[in-house]
Each structure stands twice: as C-alpha cells, then as structure tokens.
Amino acid sequence: MAKARSDLYYYTPSLPLAITSAAVFSIFLAIHTYRLFRTKTWFCTPFVIGALCEVIGFSARAYSHYHKTYSRTNAGPLVALIVQACLILLAPLLYAASVYMFLGRIIHATGHTTLSPIPIRYLTKIFVWADIICINLQSTGASLFTNAKGKASMVSLGKTIVLVGLVAQIFTFGLFVYVAVMWHYRVKKNACGGRRNAVEGFEWERYVGLLYVVSVIITFRNLFRVAEYAMGEEGYLNANEWPTYAFDALPMAVVLTICAFWYVGNIYAPLEQNRESLEMMVDGEQPGVEGNGRGKNEKKADAFDIAINVFFLGIPWLFGKVTKVVKGK
C-alpha cells in the first residue's frame, strides 16, 4: 500500500471512531477525576492524566480526518499527528505507574511486607522509575518518528527508540507480575502463622486479582505496539486504522473501567489509630509517629507520590516543545 509523499497517513482517519473514542475517554476522565477527589486516592492521579491524554490524542485524530496532508505553510496536520501518536502511545505507561504504586499499598495493607521478593521500601520506586525511563524513550522515539519528514534515518532511529522503550516496558511489567505472583504465593503458602491483615476489612485478594487482569491487558497492548513498530511504516498494522482501536483504544477502555474500582481512599486509616499495627507493617522498625499519628514511612510515600504526579503533569510541556520544533521556532 502506497501513500503520496505529502500524506501523513496511509488512510483517512475515521471521524466517527475518533469522536466516539474521545467521547468515551472523556467519560472515563470525568469518572476518574470525580473518584480521585472524592476518595483522595492520590496514587491514582496517573489514571486521570492518562485519560486526558487519550481524549486529546483521539481529538487530534478527529482533526486529522480533515487535515492529513503535510504542508510547509501549515504545521497543523503534522502537529496533530505528533500529538495523537505520542499521547495515545504514552497513556498506558501512566496507567502502569498507578498499577505499580497500588501493589506496594496492597502489600503494606496486608502487613506481609517481608514476603516481597523486592524489599518493600524499594518496590514502588524501582518500577515507577523504570516507567519514567520507558516514557522518555517512547516519547523521544515517537517524536522523531512522526517528525522525520521523510528522512529514512530519522524514521529508523525513532522506530528503534520506541521499540526499545516498548520492550523495556514489557520486561518491566513481566518482572512486576513475577514479584506480585511470588508475593501472593508466599502469603498463601505461609499464611504468616494465621496472622490477620494489618488493615482489617481490606479485600486485598480481590484487588490483586484485578491487578493481574490489568497487567495482562496492558502487556497485550504493548505486544501489539511492538509488532506495529517492528513491521515498519508500511506494515499492515500501521497502514490500517482498525488495529489501533481494536488493540489499543478498546483494551485501555477496559483498563480504565476496572481501575475505576481502585479508589480505596486512605487504606491506612485504621493504622493511624493503632500504633502497634503500624509498627508491624514496617518490619519491626520503630517509625517516627508525629502528632497526627502518621509515620515517617507513610510521609515519604506521600512525598514520592507527589513527585511522580508532578512529573506526569509536566508531560504537556514536552508537546509544547515539540510543537515549537515543528513550527521551526
């Protein structure tokens, strides 16, 4: 299948599909935003930012229905291509960040921190920072790939960088699932001498099950993206539009549906009223409990969440820079 040198797509982006997708993700954006502020489950902030990325990305595809031809006098079509390619590509990485952070909270809430294959104090940080590296790789590669303007070397470099980022993401997710499964297995096998959960009433196995489902869906989507970039610009997956909706948009809509039930609020609330339970959660270390009953470890976790959320909120800045490059400023 061939395309004119000035065309940015091998097809005319479907307006109904783009508008429908933008509308659906707008609904998810509203739901997740409401639940985020209602429950104050701040580690779920990346779900809100990711849904916003999807809305903007598919809105850009709707724009591309009428503007799919590149022109030196009009950078709009190329900017729309870069925005939709980058934002739709990166949104699942934002969802993954919340998945990583949730596992750490589940482990803490059960009190079985010593059974984690990776020390609990490093668990979230390792996976979230790996996620950040993948975000930077994929955003850089996607920007180069879509802004290559026909330069074969730039297309090849951008595609390679995106592939490296996707493979790294799959490896990271595989390691994450291994850690989750091993911890789950050890908890079930040892039963910790019949020890009860540190947070009473927290249905942790239900959330672990949902975590597995979400991990499988995101991994499936990542495999699709690897195949798409590996097949090249003229490959079937890139030259046809329906795979993007079937293997990316739809799975991510399912992920946002499942994760809408993850807004558990402050699952540590019972521990704030019970210092002995808090001490049990930090592997025998004496936490510094301050006036409001919160330990140093929890405060550090909150600070880390804030830092990560600020990073994700800074993503729009990246695309502002890309737009300036495209316009030649």
Q: Do the beta carbons of residue 232 and residue 159 sit within 8 Å?
A: yes
pLDDT on residue 148: 66
Task: Indicate the SS3 state at residue 7.
Answer: strand
Chain segment 174-214, per-residue pLDDT in tens: 999 999 999 999 998 887 544 555 556 678 889 999 999 99
Which are the contacts of 28, defined by CB distance < 8 A and separation ≥ 6?
A: 51, 54, 253, 256, 257, 260
171-to-90, 157, 174, 308 alpha-carbon distances in Å: 16, 21, 5, 21
Angle (nearest 5°) at CA 112 between 109 and 118 = 105
Query: Which SS3 state, helix, strand or coil, does residue 14 take?
Result: coil
Rounded Cα–Cα distance for residues 89 and 252 (Å):
11
Nearest to 108 by CA among 94, 96, 124: 124
Residue 235 token pair: 């490959």
Q: What is the pTM of this model?
A: 0.81
Q: Do residues 247 and 221 make contact, with C-beta atoms less than 8 angstroms apart?
A: yes
Question: How far apart, in whole angstroms, are the C-alpha atoms of residue 100 and residue 127?
Answer: 6
pLDDT of residue 57: 96
pLDDT attached to residue 76: 84
Rounded CA-CA distance 24/184 in Å is 34
Distances in Å between the Cα of 128 and the Cα atoms of 68, 74, 76, 132 are: 36, 38, 34, 6
Show the tokens assigned to 90: 């990166």
CA atoms of 49 and 47, how far apart (whole Å): 6
Q: So what's the pLDDT on residue 325? A: 44
Segments of the chain with pLDDT less than 70: 1-6, 148-150, 192-201, 266-329
pLDDT of residue 222: 94
Q: Whole-angstrom Cα distance, residue 208 to residue 317? A: 34
pLDDT score recorded for residue 69:
83
Concatenating the DSSP letter of every residue in 19-83 gives HHHHHHHHHHHHHHHHHHHHHT-GGGHHHHHHHHHHHHHHHHHHHHHH--B-BTTB-HHHHHHHH
Q: Is 183 helix (H, G, I), strand (E, B) or coil?
A: helix
Residue 248 contacts residue 18 (beta carbons within 8 Å)? no
Q: What pLDDT score does 219 carry?
A: 94
Structural domains of the chain in order of their starting residue, each with its CATH number: 15-264+290-327 (1.20.1070)
pLDDT of residue 283: 45
Q: Which of 157, 4, 129, 171 is nearest to 71 (CA)?
A: 4
